[in-house]
Structure 1
Amino acid sequence: MAQPKIAEYEWFVYLLWASNYYISSNLSRVMVGEQQNPETFENFGTTPDGSTVRPVVTFTPPWYKILYEDSITMTCDVAGAVQGDVTYTWYRNNQWIQQGKTFTIQSAQSIHDGNYQCGTSEEDISEEVTLYVMHGPVVLQSPPYIYEGDDLALRCHSRYKDIRGTIYFYKNNEIIHSSTTDSEFLYRDHLDVTAVYKCRRQVITTGYTTYSDETEVTAPGSSDSVMVTFSPNWKKIFTGDSITMTCDVIIYGTYSWYKDNKPWMKIDQKSMYIYSAQSCDSGKYQCRTSSGSSPEVSLEVSDGPVILQAPLIYDGSIPYLRCRSRPEYPVGWTRFYKDGEFLQDSEDGYLYLTKPVVTGRYKCEKVLYWTSVLDGESAPSSVPIRDLFSRPEIRLTPSNVTEGDNMALTCDTRLSPPRQTTELQFAFYRDGREVRGFLSSNKYILSAKLEDSGNYSCAGRTGDNRVRKTSQDLSVQIHSEYIVDTHGLETYLYPTVSVILLLLIIISAFLIFRHRHHLCRLFPKRLRTRDPEPGMEFV
């Protein structure tokens, strides 16, 4: 069995009888066991048996909210040196997914949304980190958390690459930054864990769609004495187009115009002009003169993106079709069909019909590329702040200090395991006044003097002074070399006096016993008498 440590005390006690006493003590050494150094930031991050701390899941890029089809890589980081071969295991929602130090998602889908962990053994499992896969046009991206003193990286992200207008970043619904070009923003004053952030931006979406239209081509009409012609010569036009209708007649006379067999524009003129046609302008038109009436001709006004245009065909004219789209849509390709069968592709959008058979049902398809402007606003988001290091604790060694002793003050704190390489500085104060400025050492050693007594505290900070924490006060009393402190009196003086008093009682009792025994020898018979005779006295 190991022998216990022995407490050694050296005391000098001087007892002065007949008046009072004066005690002077000199405690030279107290050993009740080897004092363990407090855990410092150098060895924080390891357990007492030397094993590493829990792994940490990190994201690359460092966002925990991503958009559908984005890519992301997760890494299982372990603080400290890793000995030997290590097997890394990944879990999503507590279910095993794969092994390896990294886990990459090439194209995020809804199934990738969830809580992720990694581990090196059953005992060393990381805390859960949540990945969100968003579908909105805009998302505000940030790290899952930051440490005290870190800048907060924000990104107003959209799957649509083109932007228009200004990007706005908000904190608690107030604009903190705006830019017309940069979607990322580094915020330096994130101190409020309750702050809510969001962003807003306009995005330009692009895509393509295949549109089609059909028309019927009939046999050419005969050349009547009265005819209606179109200029430009298309029976179908877009809304917003303009067209001129002319009543061609051999013999001059008066003109009347009809639409859908009802009088239209009671104006006696040969030509009628429709400016910026609308859907209501669709119908069957006819002109009537003193020489006769024209056949009805149909005009269709379409508000669609693609129309198949055919002309009014008369004897001797060359029939052709045009697949036309609105000018704001870029064109991919154009194809023509007749009676459901493919005819040909066309670069210019025209199809020239060859005789003798041109009648039938025609169709054209056109691929159009489009853009759309969306005013997107992200969902609100908050970012937790983690402690970079714990609040310092000031410690005194030894706990009782006598004038002339070396007094050591230690400012103990713990760095967060992922930030073990962060350099801290420490300063010490007595009664609120600085006694040692900020240095890299967390110890302050001095030769104790009586005037060094007071309330001591210490402060720890980062090199850039963005994070600073102060300890609570520690009362330090420096004792005189010749006067025992109160604790010493209570511990050592009172037991000594008690022992001395006990010895005095024993000695007094012994002397009384000796004196009584002596009297018994001098007067043996009389002492045996129960009641003394009158006049007898003890000498």
Structure 2
Amino acid sequence: MEQKLFYELLLILLITFTQSGQTQDAVLTVEPKWSTIYIGESLTFHCVMTEGRTDEWKYTLKENDWTLYSDANQPDFTLNPPNNEGSGVYQCCGRRKDSDYTKCSNTVSIHVSDRPRSRLTAGTTTVSVGDEVTLICSVEKSDGWKYEWFRRTSTISKYRINDGENGEIRVSQGGIYSCRGFRGEPVFYSDTSDEVNIYIIFSNKVIVKPSWSQIFIGEKFTLTCEVQGGEGVLLEYQWRTPQSQTSWRNYKDWTFTAFISGEYSCSSRPLNDLYYSTNWSEALRLSVLGKPKAQLIKRGETLICSVNPSSSGWSYYFYRGERINEMTEINTEFNSNAEFSVSQGGVYRCSGRRGSSYYTDLSDPIIIDAGKAKLTAGRTTVKVEDEVTLICSVDQSDGWKYEWFRRISTIPKYRINDGKNGEIRVSQGGIYSCRGFRGEPAFYSDTSDEVNIYITFSNKVIVTQKPSWSQMFRGETITLTCEVQGGEGFLWEYEWRTSQSQRFWRYDKYRTITASISGEYSCRSRLMNDLYSSTNWSEALRLSFSDRPRARLTAGTKIVAVGDRVTLICSVDQSDGWKYEWFRRTSTIPEYRINDEENGEIRVSPGGIYSCRGFRGEPAFYSDKSNEVNINLTQPVLRVSRWWLSPGSSVTLSCEVEHESAGWSFYWYKAVPDLSHKSASYSYELLPASSNGTADNSYIIHGQTHTAGYVCRAGRGEPHVYTLYSQPHFVWSGDLHPSASLSVSPDRVQHFTSDSVSLTCEETLLSGESAAFCFLTCCHSVLTGEQ
């Protein structure tokens, strides 16, 4: 305030000094009316004549008698001092346009300074949570300022924090602050202030909970940092320990495992704000002791557990069992009571627990003497539906009732009935135990030793085979059945034993195998899912397996006439139950299945190469395929008495049938070559007196004058069944009028196989086709020596 009054008095003296002397008719004013102008700010001078109109004058502006503007038509002048040389005394003059009349104004003194820097100051930075810190921005020795405020942190760039223009603000966040002033139009800015690091320390008191001063090594412990009066504010927390200082975290609870005694304290700050924090709390002194051990004492039938050294916050657990690894917890509920009433004998221990999982060492054992139950079993070999007797007793005492328990390897022990008798009957095997109890409240004996009850059913078990063939072969499928005689109405599962292995239990009494190795097969049964009962093993079924058999094919005869049928028989030796498949092929047709019948005997009429195989069972098992049997159709052989004839000579034909028997008729034909085919082909013409056949197998041709070919065939039965035609044979005759002549070179009577012979056939008639064919056939016969 005193500084501002000083500047006002100084301005009055300056104006009085500059306007001293005679009164002026012209007036010079300046806007803005600040006492100090800064480089870069804009000034406007206004020159007012006290007479006439404004446009009747010419205007001049001077600085320290130096003319800046002259003869201007307007009375306003705007200046932007570029540097400190803008400081000085300013005066304006006016000259009337219609004469030389001139008058000057008062003088105005202007002081120009360098651009100023704003200054930022802060009030106290120790406040309560929710309070604010006062920040003040100012530009010294000048007025008319408004202000802009800025904030940044080490992780956030500088930003303008509000749109207000006050020189004083209040902030609730720490950070790095700065400000700058501005005034005038256009706006002139001061330099930005130095940055001020505002770190707010909350005055709220911080405390650490819980107040336990004594903890044990290895114990998990939770400390809580509480900021009094900090409710509703999102805070993060930091802890200081004897060894280190933790990083900031979002939760006020800190759980750690105690190892070293020392002082623990904490501080807090708003979430993610690096420029706030509370003061450190008062330190909590924690003494870390060695792991404690529980102590167990007995008063009558009551056991009392405590922790040494004595400390608070413990719950207690009691255990029963002779060995530590066999102990059972006998009060399973959370128990803050250190006393426990004993209800049965045994070896007892206790432990204390504090927190969620910290336990003391076990106490030394205390032995409570009580009788031990004894379990005995009657005969365990019974029939299905019968039961085994179990007896429980406590020696040398009376008044007992009993509890019974059963377990198996896959099911934990459970109480099997609500009765209290010392004798029970059971139909299931298993691992049984019992204990006695008496009195009110109940006092229990020690549980008996476990007795493994394995029930053997006396029912006979048999194995049956399907199919039941006496001879089995490797690769066949066999189904074995396990039957429990008298076991109808019960759900069984089955186990099989072979010479090679023993299979797992299964629910299916049928076992399907593929025959491979001979051996003995037996089975046994047990009630479904009962691991502690079974029948005895059945008597073994001996299975013998042979190598895959080969089918055998036999035929009544292998040569038949056209139309005749032959019987084929397929069999597999020394075994039964077979059905059969039949196959046929020829030299030109691939093998195919000839029928869908499955008989072992069939009749066939055409020739061919036949085979068969047997099959049986489901799925089908096949024997190896049989030998092939070639069934030939009968073909007679034609023979001639002479090959070469003189014209008019006779020739005798004979027709021979293999395995000749009575009843045959013989038919005689002339073979006429069919030259329209590339290969030798013939048509057949019956010879005279041959249409009904001859009983004799010979036929005489008289007076043959031409070369001719002949065939024959035989037939018998009613209707007639014929053989095939014989192969044609030609009888060569010198014609009276030959159509061709044959010459041999060299022309000699005898030739040897190693000689080369040249044959020439010369055509003498027009019947060239027949002659050419005859020539080729003739040559073949002569060269090969065939008859």
Pairwise TM-score range, normalised by the shorter structure: under 0.3
Give the structure-1-normalised TM-score.
Answer: 0.26
Question: Which structure's residues are more often strand, by fraction?
Answer: 2
Q: Which structure has the greater CA radius of gyration?
A: 2
> RCO greater where, 1 or 2, for CA within 8 Å and sep 6 or more?
1
Give the structure-2-normalised TM-score.
Answer: 0.19
